[in-house]
Amino acid sequence: MNLKLRLTILSFLQFFVWGAWLITFANYWFGTKQWGGEEFGIVFMTLGISSIFMPALTGIIADRWMNAEKLYGLLHLGYAVTLFFLPMVDNPNTFFWIMLIAMIFYMPTISLSNSIAYYILKNNNYDVVKVFPPIRVWGTIGFIAAMWVTNLTGNKASANQFYIAGIFAVILAIYSFTLPACKPQNLIPKNASTAEKLGLNAFSLFGNAKMAMFFIFSMFLGAALQLTNMYGDVFLSDFGKKPEYADSFVVKYSTIIMSISQISETLFILAIPFFLKKFGIKKVMLISMFAWVLRFAFFAYGTPEGFGLTLIILSCIVYGMAFDFFNISGSLFVETTTDYKIRSSAQGLFMMMTNGFGAMIGSFVSGWLIAKFFTLENGDKMWHEIWLIFAAYALVIAILFGLFFRHKHNPAEVAEIKH
């Protein structure tokens, strides 16, 4: 089978097993289980908690001791097993711990899948900047497909969403063991320092002012990345509480509407090579940050009908630019500015700052703010104000990034990634 096709299947399944429950999880939590908002924020923190240490740890293991594709497969097997346990849980506290274990297995596979793709492509003389985005776009398609399967089978508020994800995670694990070997690249030299022996070389990147600034802003923007995944679908579903919107398409098929965001991703992923070479990482990330402002602001004024519906759709469209221009471009930036011996570890650091510290801060603070200040006595949420607060946060981060991140664009830097 063609190598690019094999990596395309890997990318598709990588995000299918996440998309089957991530967007619809809030409907299961608030609608079916009727658990609280603060607990929801804490459970969503599991994505961040696991991303603080697991991507960096698995990156070190892949760089030093174990084939990346084998480690990747074992992690997905563990993820599948824990997903099968979630439907059996009947209280939020136990749910937190089971979900934490699931995320400990899953979250590092995101950066590890990038490392596997980069390794295989470069070993076969492909131009990663040109070839990787069209492969990665199939991850987004997999995410969309999973969302549609969950919604159209009537499982957006059902525990079956976890079974769907778990079954495909087993398939992905088995498939990953058939991939070309991705051997460790950072063997331990005889005169290695303690940091080298422990595989902590990548942490030296924080000693570089530009990289440290990049990681810090990655953390702050990472706080915004999961907000619409946490609240987007339940926000649209909540319009069903108003009689004039109860039977609207937006309410009945909220997950389908949300999938427009991922459809948009497929277009913007393909545009990344052009934008990176034309404008450079700083401007591309600035575009991403201002797109986040629009994403939240459009939701703030959106409704299921008329001009409000147009705003919801526009919010979903700009999401593709907001998410991809940050995540994929950031990953490629790390790939082009770090030594090949520590690239898996460096990708793990990027993941740690965005989906780790960033997501954990965003999940906890948003859950606390919404429960404390933006939830009415009857349990309804003040969505207009919530989205405006999120938009203001993204705007502040964009302005500070523009002022303090220093990076001179060099088109040749991303023209070709070499060992």
- Distance separating alpha carbons of residues 236 and 182, to the nearest angstrom: 43
Cα 82 to its chain centre, rounded Å, is 20
Which region, left, alpha or beta, applies to residue 87 given φ > 0 means left and ψ of -120 to 50 means alpha? alpha
- Residue 417 pLDDT: 41
Q: Residue 126 sits in a domain of what CATH number?
A: 1.20.1250.20
Q: Is residue 192 part of a domain?
A: no
The answer to whether 40 touches 163, Cβ cutoff 8 Å, is: no
Cβ within 8 Å of residue 207, ≥6 positions away:
none
- Distance separating alpha carbons of residues 256 and 172, to the nearest angstrom: 24
Mean pLDDT rounded to a whole number for the chain: 80
- Residue 171 pLDDT: 94
**Amino acid occupying residue 57:** L
Residue among 75, 62, 74 at smallest CA distance from 118: 62
Mean pLDDT by 10 residues, the chain (419 residues): 84 91 80 74 80 73 77 92 90 90 90 81 75 82 87 81 93 89 63 54 71 84 75 80 81 80 80 79 86 92 87 90 81 73 70 79 81 78 89 91 72 47
- Distance separating alpha carbons of residues 157 and 393, to the nearest angstrom: 30
Q: Is residue 348 part of a domain?
A: yes
Q: Is residue 105 part of a domain?
A: yes
Which region, left, alpha or beta, applies to residue 293 given φ > 0 means left and ψ of -120 to 50 means alpha? alpha
The answer to whether 95 touches 29, Cβ cutoff 8 Å, is: no
Read off the pLDDT of residues 4-14 as tens digits, 9 standing for 90 and up. Answer: 888 888 999 99
Q: Is residue 190 part of a domain?
A: no
- Residue 396 pLDDT: 92
- Residue 408 pLDDT: 66
Write the DSSP string, 322-391.
Answer: HHHHHHHHHHHHHHHHS-GGGHHHHHHHHHIIIIIIIHHHHHHHHHHHHHHHSB-TTS-B-HHHHHHHHH
Q: Is residue 261 part of a domain?
A: yes
Write the DSSP string, 265-306.
Answer: HHHHHHHHHHHHHHHHHHHHHHHHHHHHHHHHHHHHT--SSH
Domain that holds residue 69: 3-184+197-414
pTM more than 0.85: no
- Residue 195 pLDDT: 54
* Dihedral sign (CA 401, 53, 14, 231): negative
* Dihedral sign (CA 234, 240, 244, 248): positive
Q: Is residue 419 part of a domain?
A: no
Cα dist from 348 to 64, 212, 367, whole Å: 14, 14, 26
Read off the pLDDT of residues 134-165 as tens digits, 9 standing for 90 and up. Answer: 888 888 889 889 988 888 888 777 888 899 99
- Distance separating alpha carbons of residues 344 and 331, to the nearest angstrom: 11
Specify the number of domains making up the chain.
1
- Residue 14 pLDDT: 93
Structure token digits, residue 70: 């084998």
